[in-house]
Amino acid sequence: MEVNIGKSVLSLVIGDITEESTDAIVNAANERLAGGAGVDGAIHRAGGPAIMAECRKIGGCPTGQAVITTGGNLKAKHVIHTVGPIYRGGARNEAALLRSAHVESLKLASAKGLKSVAFPAISTGVYGYPLEEAARIALTAAIDYLHEHSDIELIRFVLFDGRAYEVFSTELKGLL
Could you give the residue numbers annotated as active site? 40
Going by C-alpha positions, the residue among 135, 137, 141 that lies closest to residue 164 is 135
Question: How far apart are CB 146 and ligand AR6 at their closest, in Å?
Answer: 21
Distance CA 59, CA 21 (A): 27
In the complex with ligand AR6, the residue whose CB is nearer, 47 or 146, is: 47
The footprint of ligand AR6 (CB under 6 A) covers 16-18, 28-30, 36-40, 42, 84, 120-127, 158, 160, 164
Ramachandran assignment for 109, one of left (phi > 0), alpha (psi -120 to 50 degrees), beta (any other): alpha
In the complex with ligand AR6, the residue whose CB is nearer, 46 or 108, is: 46
Distance CA 81, CA 64 (A): 10
Question: How far apart are CB 7 and ligand AR6 at their closest, in Å?
Answer: 27
Give how far Cα 97 sits from Cα of 41, 117, 138, Å.
22, 19, 11
Question: How far apart are CB 51 and ligand AR6 at their closest, in Å?
Answer: 13
In the complex with ligand AR6, the residue whose CB is nearer, 48 or 149, is: 48
